[in-house]
Amino acid sequence: MKLMPNCREEYKRRHDQIWPEMVALLKGRGVSDYTIFLDEESDTLFAVQRQSEDGPSSQEMGSHPVMQRWWKYMADIMETNSDFSPVSKPLKRVFHLD
């Protein structure tokens, strides 16, 4: 994902004040240990999350009203698609160690 120029502080502020209903949605879908990293040179965001294997896919959350509202809330500070979802690029795992 990618931030608009000069939006780092606002992005952090909004996540520091994440809505309780967004937290409930994520946890209710089995998401835990969710971390977002920032590459300060490019304003690129990289998110890592754990998801329970028996729960629904986190990708299915895009149709949930809370997620759609969050996307619209973040759209002024991030690159987005026409549905306000963040422009993202899937990455291929090349190494993992437990």
Catalytic sites, residue numbers: 15
- How many Å apart are CA 5 and CA 43, to the nearest integer? 7
Beta strands in the chain (DSSP E): 31-39, 44-51
- Expressed in percent and rounded to 5, the helix, strand and coil fractions of the chain are 35, 20, 45
DSSP annotation string for 49-61: EEE-TTSPPGGGG
